[in-house]
A and B are shown apart, each in its own frame.
Chain A
């Protein structure tokens, strides 16, 4: 999310207004967005813009489901990823206060651990998040970019401590996937796997997916898929995607969003947009429904 960095406050407000006017309800940010675009080397700009927007639009905060993340903010400019704030109890308590102040709200609906922090005992992290949930400052908890076995370990720790545990997972996912062994982003355990789907379905966790539209690769000739996606399965999936898109008179992006949302388990796609046209396309995609036959065809391409 580039609110306050690539997009100035005016452009950001326009997108946000259009989003809620178009029926959108869920906004996901992070306390470190977007440190890599900010001259200060620090995050916080996106939350600050959102806070200003909530302040300028009375009543809107209650109409949206707001989530933010902590744990991956650099401790010092240039510190990411080695020198990031992490998931200690002290940092969690400080981070939520910082986010609430910037967002100008008294609660977030879902609070994410942005990345794992194996230097901190899992009981400490889980206990601190559990306290936030118990106090009502956060509605529920989720884990992003965590290996499934680490999520299970944290959930078991939460059960033992008698506190709320993670009930949502946030990972990268889309219709086409890279070849085995190819890491297309910086998180070793940051992608949805078949194990993720099984875990979420079995334990009733929600899955939110990021980079669902692969930086525009489905629709923009100037943004080809990264080389790691090159394999016959991708070719077959793109062919199926083209077929279904033309049957529905929809864009490839829209079919990908519909495929994610209507699957089993259902996946909540997160879409980052920088123009009104992209926003409108995504909102329409999220409302699109595939027939069983179309979904089966898309699933079978591998």
Chain B
């Protein structure tokens, strides 16, 4: 359960990082808050758009999916089901692969690093590690024997 809670919180933080970059790409606000000019370099490059949509939009969708799945997996009925851990590992793996591709573009094609992108890369990597650890942990048990006995109707 702790792993799923950690995944949900990390996905929530990642969601707002991606949301900021997406809203910025849509023209909300002024210059991006970055500390150096390199965020602008990345965000205004032709590689900041994929299939007609800002790359940050895919981040919003990905983190949303991770957040929703981890919250669904935290329902009491879903806690013993290990399939949710597998789903989270799958989603996180897609995110990590996408992040590796984007980091490659930053380092070797655009030659600029966006701090927000680095932040997102750290978050998705943490989610991936946490989700992998959840695969190794024993499933949360809901033991009927631990529940209080039903009231004795004969009394």
A-B complex is real: no
